[in-house]
Structure 1
Amino acid sequence: MSAVSSMMRLLQLGDSALPVGAFSFSNGLESAVQAKVVRDAGGLEAFVRVAARASATTDGIALLEAFRAARDGDRPRVALADREAFGRKLNEEMRVMSVRMGRKLAEVAVKIAEAPGVEAWLGEIRRGETPGTYPVAQALASEALGLDEASAFAAHQYGVAAMMVNASMRLMRIGHMDAQAILRRVGDEAAAAYDEVRGRSLADMASFSPMVDVLAAAHVRASVRLFMN
């Protein structure tokens, strides 16, 4: 596959218009705005950066493990990465977000690519044999599309940041230019995050962002909201 074709597939996988339901979730940002934890562009950037960091050291590791397992044809390793990713979600909202988007991405990948591995995994999800988390779906879809693991990791990190930045446009007063500048700056940190976690195992998956966890948990019981829980 040429470099241009590879880039086109990466752009498609990272496109915010990809129908996986990302627009329905704010990754805790809605509660952060309501609680006035995030008040302006500076607060938004800090919140997105924390979420991206937590994603890299948890879901990012699961994604890399699942990608390598898919490349090697090791189905038990894929299943283990999926369970570990699901088990690291401390609150209901994050679990729901991950599995809903994961299943939708698997359905998209089966439609747009020759992806027997993804199709088999989708069958396991439907039978209740595996959770079907989003980072594992991205790993399997990326491998089926012929991308490398660094590209898969980049698409995942971009998706986390883009979801929250896009949600901010509906939640607070922030200009499109400021939002895009935040997305670029947070995105610039993905390469260092990949270098940091690429050698880690599933046992190393960990993050510490208690404010994000508490806000996401509060969102489940919120009486007024724009985004799904």
Structure 2
Amino acid sequence: MAKAAALPLARLLQLASPALPVGAYSYSQGLESAVEAGVVHDRASAQQWINDVAALSLARWELPLLAKLIAAWQGGPDAAMINARFLASRESAELRAETVQMGYSLARLAAQLEIPRHEELEAIEEPVFPTAFAFFVAAWKLPVREALSAYLWSWMENAVMAAVKCVPLGQTDAQRALLDLGDHIDTLVTEALDLDEDAMAPSLPRMALLSARHETQYSRLFRS
């Protein structure tokens, strides 16, 4: 039983790992623009930014759609339709390019690892990252709640590491931020799973504007 329980955990850790070859480290999702604008300037403001994005965007939009995508790959509604819905929600060219590039990379990995039914993922014209992530969750028969937690943790970790580079933050401050942010994961996942369809929507206009401004920012470390 212990061995059976350990395998899904190992698969979730693999999906959430910075070693996943999708290039997540090269994106800041508007954080670099927030630093340039002075909105983010220390650990407290960086942590607030990351927590706000998690609460107002991921928990209210990305995570609920991820749950729907997992259900789709398990035999529910058409994943391509949900994929198009998420793609249409990306407010800037950089945010759109980010999720398409990461989704393409993860779909290619599925083919290289010969994951069953990977052809169905490749058949989607522009698979976004949540679609590809959900495909792996369904293929590996991973629990949905834990998969959403792993997805959110991976996003938080990447956001904090982006803050380390562009705020900049020290490694100890980064670990303090991760400790605090991690405390919110269970609450945010619960909110995402309980959210009504009519209430699903991202609500971060300032992030969208800063992301668009990043496209012409003079000095950049990140692609978004």
TM value normalised by structure 1? 0.90
Residue deviations 1:29-85 (CA, integer Å, cap 9, x gap): 1111111110100000001101112112111111000101111x24x5211211111
After TM superposition, give the deviation of residue 204 of structure 1 in Å.
3.4
Structure 2 CA distance for partners of 1:41 and 1:181, relative to 1, 3 Å = same
Asked if 1:134 is matched to 2:129, the reply is: yes
SS in structure 1 at match of 2:189 = helix
Q: Which moved more, 1:194-203 or 1:92-101?
A: 194-203
Counterpart position of 1:197:
192
Counterpart position of 2:121:
121
Counterpart position of 1:4:
6
CA distance in 2, matches of 1:194, 1:12: 19
Counterpart position of 2:36:
34
- For 2:218, the aligned partner's letter is S
CA distance in 2, matches of 1:11, 1:197: 21
Query: Contact 1:58–1:88 (CA<8 Å) still a contact in 2?
Result: no
Map 1:7-156 to 2 at 5 A: 7-53=9-55, 54-71=57-74, 73-74=75-76, 76-112=77-113, 114-116=115-117, 118-125=118-125, 131-156=126-151
Structure 2 CA distance for partners of 1:85 and 1:167, relative to 1, 3 Å = same
Superposed structure 1 runs of 4+ greater than 2 Å apart? 109-115, 199-205
CA distance in 1, matches of 2:6, 2:25: 28
Counterpart position of 1:128:
none
- For 2:138, the aligned partner's letter is E
Query: Contact 1:115–1:141 (CA<8 Å) still a contact in 2?
Result: no
Structure 2 CA distance for partners of 1:185 and 1:111, relative to 1, 3 Å = farther
TM value normalised by structure 2? 0.91
Residue deviations 1:78-97 (CA, integer Å, cap 9, x gap): 11211111111111111111
Tell me how many residue pairs correspond in the alignment.
221
SS in structure 2 at match of 1:18 = coil
Show structure 2 runs of 5+ residues with no match: none
Structure 2 CA distance for partners of 1:123 and 1:77, relative to 1, 3 Å = closer
Asked if 1:177 is matched to 2:172, the reply is: yes
Residue deviations 1:77-130 (CA, integer Å, cap 9, x gap): 2112111111111111111111111111122233336331x33111323xxxxx
Query: Contact 1:65–1:202 (CA<8 Å) still a contact in 2?
Result: no
Query: Contact 2:59–2:191 (CA<8 Å) still a contact in 1?
Result: no
After TM superposition, give the deviation of residue 215 of structure 1 in Å.
0.9
Query: Contact 1:138–1:152 (CA<8 Å) still a contact in 2?
Result: no
SS in structure 2 at match of 1:222 = coil
Q: Which moved more, 1:164-173 or 1:92-101?
A: 164-173
Query: Contact 1:51–1:160 (CA<8 Å) still a contact in 2?
Result: no
Structure 2 CA distance for partners of 1:226 and 1:60, relative to 1, 3 Å = same
Map 1:199-218 to 2 at 5 A: 199-200=194-195, 203-218=198-213
- For 1:90, the aligned partner's letter is E
SS in structure 2 at match of 1:94 = helix
Query: Contact 1:65–1:201 (CA<8 Å) still a contact in 2?
Result: no
Show structure 1 runs of 5+ residues with no match: 126-130
